[in-house]
Chain A
């Protein structure tokens, strides 16, 4: 029961291209119940040839909306990522932590900063 479960992303989404939010969502929906069951998950990026932040936001970043940093650190591992992709994943994770800490704060600040000077709406 406590053996880590490996999720081979290329197999799961049927492609070596991790470029869509839908595919990221599919990965998220596999990881989430496993963590909820107390399992440890290894997300394998072997054979992935293209990876973008949009995919990682949905697949990994979204986990921070459900689980604590401690749970994720204890239950999730990744392999098969090149160094520069690891950098990108780190950016995604840090961004997700900020987002779920205060998702609406930033938007509210911008909402008050209105400046529609001389910009007519198109009819």
Chain B
């Protein structure tokens, strides 16, 4: 089967197009798939993670997957972020050091994920963020990563990658899994029949969690949203038919035309942010409990 990859950016159309690939290949078993990039003039590096949710399912169904007709510019991007290594193409040195390479982590590899962030967030041209910004950003990434580890039930691990755009002062980081997705988790937990968009809305509500075992939760995504609002960044959550995007200016939920397997969270931050993130509440230890 030959499938065209369109120009792909981290927006509704980009995710919808990857979902189209998932839909076209969902029943393939012990087959062969060529992903044809001849119509792709640009592929945003961090979209490698959601693309891999489709590819991992193809691999799981014992299909051969190859990539063809990748234009030199796109090839450079995907070699620098090590995505093409999956298909046997040698990685290229990231001389500008703007890439956080594509990597697959096992579900409970929080420590390794920390080492990855230490390595690629530090001293690689990744912005000289303020300490406060760096801390909030890292906390957000750990919250997302651990959410995937706990809720996704993915058998293929967690896929991550990131890209820094120095001229725009933006850093995108994407964490995806090919697990059961938000809708299924929320439906099971609430014994309801919510749509994908409604399920994402439910998951974004403070205090809502599908974690079982009588523990409170449901705060991580809310904290990330608060951070993104102050930072002037963007948060996207895509799962099944649901596409959610949040920024200080806009919040929207849209239905994709096809199902994107698993869950994908993309966080884009403004690296020029000089906020101290001190909310000035003057809290002391005595005020906590």
Contact = CB atoms under 8 A, between A and B. Distances in A.
B289 A73 contact: yes
Contact of B214 (A52, A77, A90, A103): A103
Contacts of A79: 285
A87 B142 contact: no
B281 A54 contact: no
B146 A19 contact: yes
A6 interface: no
Contact of B192 (A15, A58, A111): A111
B215 A57 contact: yes
Interface string A74-86: 0011110101101
Given A84-B135, A86-B285, A114-B192, A21 B216 contact: no
A57 B150 CA distance: 14
Interface in B192-230: 192-196, 198, 202, 205-208, 211, 214-220, 223
Nearest to B183: A119
B143 A110 contact: no
Contact of A21 (B150, B198, B288): B150
B193 A93 contact: no
B68 to A, nearest CB: 28
Contacts of B211: 21
A17 B142 CA distance: 10
Interface residues of B, number: 51
Interface residues of A, number: 52
A88 B205 CA distance: 17
B287 interface: yes
B223 A89 contact: no
A50 B114 contact: yes
Given A19-B146, A84-B135, A110-B190, A53 B219 contact: yes
Contact of A51 (B110, B139, B215): B139
A58 B142 CA distance: 16
Nearest to B285: A78
Given A84-B132, A95-B219, A114-B192, A106 B279 contact: no
A64 B218 CA distance: 16
Contacts of A87: 279, 281, 283
Contacts of B259: 122
B218 A122 contact: no
A112 B202 CA distance: 13
B215 A119 contact: no
Contacts of B116: none
Contacts of A93: 288-289
B191 interface: yes
Interface in B89-105: none
B26 interface: yes
Given A52-B142, A110-B202, A90 B287 contact: yes
A84 B211 CA distance: 25
Interface string A90-123: 1111011011100100110011111111010010
16 contacts: A17-B111, A21-B150, A50-B114, A53-B143, A54-B147, A62-B216, A65-B216, A84-B132, A84-B279, A89-B288, A93-B288, A103-B214, A110-B192, A110-B194, A113-B194, A119-B195
Closest 3 CB pairs of A and B: A99-B216, A96-B216, A53-B219
